[in-house]
Amino acid sequence: MTADPVRRAVALFRSTYGVDPAAAASAPGRVNLIGEHTDYSLGFVLPVALDLATYVATAPSGVPSGHGKLRIYSEFRKEMREWNAAEIGALTPARHWTDYPIGVAQELLRAGFAIEPANLLIRSTVPEGSGLSSSAALEVSAALAFLAGRALDPLSLARLCQRAERNFVGMPCGIMDQYISVFGREHSAVEIDCRSLGHRFVELPAGITFVAVNTMVKHALAGSAYKERVAECAAAVAGIRERFPEVESLRDVSPEQLESAAPSLPAVVARRARHVVTEDARVGRFVEASARGDVALMGKLLVESHRSLQHDYEVSCAELDFLVDTALAIDGVYGSRMTGGGFGGCTVTMLRPDAVARFGEGMARAYQRQFQATPQIYACRPSAGAGEVKDGEEF
Ligand code: GLA
């Protein structure tokens, strides 16, 4: 974490609340290299935490000066909201950005942590709606701010934030985004086993780099289609279990089992399952190729992943496909795919470091011509996970 965004959050806290914050926390966004839409089938994913993060500065507001209120100010929304801290547990979702921190506060209450009157300030460098997981960055940084130094082990923190999103926000998400935001590590990708919830750090070979390109769109379909895919995976498991009762999630299904069960499944459900089963295998192959420095195979697996998401899982869109196809025609690019939930957001492209500048120009020009919009481009620097920043240490 760099001190500069923290300092800006602190300065903004002072000008908003008229006092110094007592603490600040940060949590990063992520880009997923491979293993898309596999986490809620308890499979494998390979994200990296980014140096784009959400910062939350906080101070107790106390009674009577704070009248027992919890206040949250969002720099991005230029909006202040407040509640009686004592009533947080009874709130219902408002379909508003505050559902993320309030959902987290409710899960903390459920886990036995009191939510004290406090002032919070949120500032983020994770672009919203970009598929780089601004939601998890907000959940995890808000959780650390609410905890205000009280201990919660990292895995419980990630799981609590996932529950907040599932129970309060209403998105039946997997564990990937919250997990990588907590467990991210500098210079490493993190291979997460979404069943055991263990991980290993994966060092990427020298001579390659990753860049995210933002379509600047998020189609309205994203939320409902995500829920549909979760349901289709459950339907696939139910169908496959008739033949293979030992199967508990798509994670357990071998390519041979899928082949023998597929004819008895609805065609769409069989295609969804094929994506998950092949994608899980691709994660393992990608990690092995990375260990061997086989950058050509890594690139090929990225493209296979995209085609599977495009045709079998059907979560891509014209803008993402265009960015992938354009990237693949640029010299120095090894592979490219959509990343995150889909229906907009970003692609991730693996390329030679010396090709980055040319890539950025070529992509911007082509995208502008096709969609009359300027795609934002982010270098993906694998960064550390969430943490508290104590007064005096960094600000
Ligand atoms: C979203 C969800 C994750 C994961 C991805 C797709 O980011 O929050 O849990 O399912 O989509 O891989």
pLDDT digits (tens, 9 = 90+) for 202-252: 999 999 999 999 999 999 888 899 999 999 999 999 999 999 999 999 999
Has residue 82 got a pLDDT over 70?
yes
CA separation (Å) from 113 to 62, 110, 205, 340?
Answer: 17, 7, 43, 31
Q: Is 177 designated active site?
A: yes
Mutate to test the pocket of ligand 1, among 166, 173, 227, 229 (most ligand atoms within 8 A of CB): 173
Q: Residue 386 — pLDDT band, cuts 50, 70, 90?
A: very high
Tokens of 24: 């600040």
Average pLDDT over all residues of the chain: 95
How far does the centroid of ligand 1 lie from the alpha carbon of residue 176, in Å? 6
287-339 pLDDT tens trace: 999 999 999 999 999 999 999 999 999 999 999 999 999 999 999 999 999 99
239-295 pLDDT tens trace: 999 999 999 999 999 999 999 999 999 999 999 999 999 999 999 999 999 999 999
pLDDT attached to residue 105: 98
Is 36 a pocket residue for ligand 1 (Cβ < 6 Å)? yes
The terminus-to-terminus CA distance of the chain in angstroms comes to 12
Is 40 a pocket residue for ligand 1 (Cβ < 6 Å)? yes
Q: Whole-angstrom Cα distance, residue 28 to residue 7?
A: 17
Residues near 204 by Cβ (< 8 Å), separated by ≥ 6?
Answer: 188, 189, 290, 382
Q: Which of 39, 51, 99, 177 is catalytic?
A: 177
93-113 pLDDT tens trace: 999 999 999 999 999 999 999
Q: Residue 6 — pLDDT band, cuts 50, 70, 90?
A: confident
Cα-flanking dihedrals φ and ψ of residue 168, to 5°?
A: -105, -45
115-147 pLDDT tens trace: 999 999 999 999 998 999 999 999 999 999 999
CB 121 within 8 A of CB 12: yes
